[in-house]
Structure 1
């Protein structure tokens, strides 16, 4: 049996074929970059139909190369928090708001939750611009055509492809409207969002499986008999793919954005452990929760700095970074894209401090990267307060693979913890496959996790042609 794992990310959409043990098939990767529209006003949106077209191109490429033969299961890792208003026919009434969009504000005169602490403990979220409790009323106020219902990017895409597309408890938890214990929409959160029955996607039961619509089965006949599982939130999938599936290991993942997270087993109906005020909590699946903190800056900051500071590439940049003073000539606030919940700093809050005429572009770059390391270290200490012993840390994500110097900067910031590196570049897809198989615990035994100073292992998916 083969598994097709889709990664519905912010900067790209990818399709990856794995074997029954969630090991990537060599060369069986297709990806397309997607355009994220951003603006100084806090805009961070995607074009839903164009995104869907990019996914279809990935499937076409995999099919043409023969990689979709023997695929029996399709799963997905998808970005949390996105939302798009839909009309009665399921067509988008505007762009998709991503996690990066900071424009939503509470309606004038709107009151928040009756008990902020109880709301946070129950939903794992806050009454905040990053969640649907604030986003949906804001979208309604600006809609030219009234929305019939709302969906996340993943639900919109899958509704087009499949005969039905309920929302997983993982994706629902990222909306901020889910009761994490009861695994049902939270009445107070839905009231704040101003939504009633039929305006939210139906919640998928445990073990749900879907099928392609007939017209798409004709386009991709290799997938006609495949079972589709509900998507897993990207952060949860990345933890599993990083081998961080219990409280003994925390994942620090740096892709487009960055996050530090810890998974705990917690079946539906079980009492929720106390949740620190500064941390969020979402669902991995019906049996596990993930707790952590996220940041708007990550690989996007890395890419911006390399481009705008006109830095050298590859080994030349690594060598220049190795000569930067250990105490750091420049310090930085890396919140270029504003705060993720619960913070409220707007986009454009980044800062550089300690500049002098002796500061170089490499000094500025190092200050930005170590600034993010320090934010992660502070939140990891808070995350560890709820577990028995300090966690081992596993670094993962594409941006971590790009710089040995940055990995060592994380090692220094997170000391004295043991810090390792998951070198596999497709941790989200691998993690989503393991969740779909009901084998979350097997993530602890994934290959590719080693010392941060080890030479890079061969990339088993490197043969794929980039989009």
Structure 2
């Protein structure tokens, strides 16, 4: 059985085919870059219709090349926290707010939760601009037309393709409106958002499977009878794909942004373990949660430096970095994109310090990269407090695969914990496929975790 894995990210839409061993079929990959609108005022938006067009183009390409013939299941890893206002006709009233957008603020007359700690424990989130409890009133106030309902980006795209597209528990938990124990919309969170139940997406049951609408079944006939699994939040998918599926192993992933997360078994309707004040918690599925912290800065800092600084290219850059110790860059405040919750810095908070006429572009880059490493330390310690023991760390994500120096810097900063590197290149797609197949237990064997890469890099950096 082949699996079509869709990775619906912030910077790109990707579709790839995995075989029955959850290995990528060589050549069976289609990708489209996504145009993200970012501005110094905190804007971080996508065009919903354009995003859907990118997804359709990927499916067209894979179909035309014959890669979809043996697909029997579609698994989806998708960005958390996005929100899109819809009119009465179901059409978008504006752009999609992504996790990057730091503009939403509580309206002047709004008050927060009656008991902020209880709210945090129930929903795993805070009353914060990243979540729908703040975003929906702000969107209503800034929309030029009446909003009929709200949806996430992935739900919007799937609603156009499938006969039914409810919101998965994983995606719903990223809104900040879900009670993580009861798996229903939280009454207080919905009141803060000023929203009724029929203005929110329907929630998917545990056994939900979708199918293509007739028009798209004719367009991609090999997918006409294929089942579509409920989407998995990209952070949860990355943990599973990294082989971090129990409380002994934490994932640190660096892609466009970065995060540290621990996956634990917490079945629905059972009491939830206490959640440290600085961490969030989201659902993986009905049986598992992922707890952690996420940051706006990650590989996007490298992309900025590569675009704006006169850096050496390719191997020459890695060689220049190797001549620096992990802390050999210039001090930096890496708040270029502001804070993810619970922080409140706005976009544009970044700083580079300690500069002289002798400062090199590589030193600036190294300071930014080292800052990404340092931001993880305190939150990793908070995660360890929930399991009462140190954990092993597995590094993953495209940025980690690209830079041995960066992996070595993480190993230095996170010592004395064992720090390893997950070599599997498709952690999001693989994780989504494993969950869709009910094979989370196979994740460790598939992750291809190196035991020596980062320790040797740190020792020679």
| Same fold, TM-score > 0.5, yes or no | yes
**CA 1:16–1:68: 2 relative to 1, 3 Å:** same
Trace 1:59-74 onto structure 2 (pairs within 5 A): 59-74=59-74
Aligned length: 454
Q: Secondary structure at the match of 2:376?
A: helix
Q: Which residue of 1 aligns with 2:215?
A: 215
Does the aligned pair in 2 maintain the 1:217–1:224 contact within 8 Å?
Answer: yes
How many angstroms apart in 1 are the aligned matches of 2:298 and 2:23? 26
How many Å apart are 1:452 and its aligned residue? 5.6
Q: Which residue of 2 aligns with 1:397?
A: 397
Q: Secondary structure at the match of 1:274?
A: coil
Q: Secondary structure at the match of 2:394?
A: strand
Q: Which residue of 1 aligns with 2:418?
A: 418
Trace 1:42-191 onto structure 2 (pairs within 5 A): 42-191=42-191
Q: For structure 1, which segment, 157-166 or 372-381, has the greater mean C-alpha deviation from structure 2 after superposition?
A: 372-381
Q: For structure 1, which segment, 276-285 or 329-338, has the greater mean C-alpha deviation from structure 2 after superposition?
A: 329-338
Structure 1 residues 188-240: Cα deviation after superposition (integer angstroms, max 9, x where no partner): 00000011021000100001011000000000001001001110000000000
**CA 1:221–1:317: 2 relative to 1, 3 Å:** same
Does the aligned pair in 1 maintain the 2:326–2:409 contact within 8 Å?
Answer: no
TM-score, normalization by structure 2: 0.97
How many angstroms apart in 1 are the aligned matches of 2:326 and 2:270? 47
Does the aligned pair in 2 maintain the 1:239–1:261 contact within 8 Å?
Answer: yes
How many angstroms apart in 1 are the aligned matches of 2:385 and 2:114? 27
Q: Secondary structure at the match of 2:336?
A: coil
Does the aligned pair in 1 maintain the 2:113–2:188 contact within 8 Å?
Answer: yes
Q: Secondary structure at the match of 1:339?
A: coil
Q: Secondary structure at the match of 2:50?
A: helix
**CA 1:249–1:135: 2 relative to 1, 3 Å:** same
Structure 1 residues 311-356: Cα deviation after superposition (integer angstroms, max 9, x where no partner): 1122100110111245425111111000000000000111112222
Q: Which residue of 2 aligns with 1:351?
A: 351
How many Å apart are 1:426 and its aligned residue? 1.3
Trace 1:209-358 onto structure 2 (pairs within 5 A): 209-358=209-358
Does the aligned pair in 2 maintain the 1:407–1:452 contact within 8 Å?
Answer: no
How many angstroms apart in 1 are the aligned matches of 2:329 and 2:181? 47
Q: Secondary structure at the match of 1:191?
A: helix
Structure 1 residues 282-304: Cα deviation after superposition (integer angstroms, max 9, x where no partner): 00000000000000011111111
Where relative contact order (Cα < 8 A, 6+ residues apart) is larger, the structure is: 1
Does the aligned pair in 1 maintain the 2:242–2:251 contact within 8 Å?
Answer: yes
How many Å apart are 1:45 and its aligned residue? 0.3
Trace 1:434-453 onto structure 2 (pairs within 5 A): 434-451=434-451, 453=453
How many angstroms apart in 1 are the aligned matches of 2:117 and 2:160? 38
Structure 1 residues 382-424: Cα deviation after superposition (integer angstroms, max 9, x where no partner): 1111113211111111111111111111111111111111122
Q: Which residue of 1 aligns with 2:458?
A: none
Structure 1 residues 351-393: Cα deviation after superposition (integer angstroms, max 9, x where no partner): 1122222211111100000011000122111111111321111
How many angstroms apart in 2 are the aligned matches of 1:325 and 1:189? 47
Q: Secondary structure at the match of 1:198?
A: helix
How many angstroms apart in 2 are the aligned matches of 1:97 and 1:326? 35
Does the aligned pair in 2 maintain the 1:329–1:359 contact within 8 Å?
Answer: no
**CA 1:438–1:108: 2 relative to 1, 3 Å:** same
Q: Which residue of 2 aligns with 1:34?
A: 34
**CA 1:58–1:417: 2 relative to 1, 3 Å:** same
Q: Secondary structure at the match of 1:259?
A: strand
How many Å apart are 1:453 and its aligned residue? 2.4
Structure 1 residues 135-165: Cα deviation after superposition (integer angstroms, max 9, x where no partner): 0000000111111110000000000000010
Does the aligned pair in 2 maintain the 1:22–1:433 contact within 8 Å?
Answer: yes
How many angstroms apart in 2 are the aligned matches of 1:449 and 1:223? 33
Structure 1 residues 423-466: Cα deviation after superposition (integer angstroms, max 9, x where no partner): 22211011000111111122122142114628xxxxxxxxxxxx
Q: For structure 1, which segment, 319-328 or 239-248, has the greater mean C-alpha deviation from structure 2 after superposition?
A: 319-328
Q: Which residue of 2 aligns with 1:463?
A: none
Does the aligned pair in 1 maintain the 2:250–2:391 contact within 8 Å?
Answer: yes
Q: Secondary structure at the match of 1:21?
A: coil
Does the aligned pair in 2 maintain the 1:329–1:354 contact within 8 Å?
Answer: no
How many angstroms apart in 1 are the aligned matches of 2:447 and 2:38? 37
How many angstroms apart in 2 are the aligned matches of 1:182 and 1:367? 44
How many angstroms apart in 1 are the aligned matches of 2:239 and 2:213? 31
Structure 1 regions of 5+ residues with no counterpart? Answer: 455-467
How many angstroms apart in 1 are the aligned matches of 2:382 and 2:452? 24
Structure 2 regions of 5+ residues with no counterpart? Answer: 455-461
**CA 1:452–1:217: 2 relative to 1, 3 Å:** farther
Does the aligned pair in 2 maintain the 1:128–1:134 contact within 8 Å?
Answer: yes
RMSD over equivalenced CA pairs, Å: 1.0
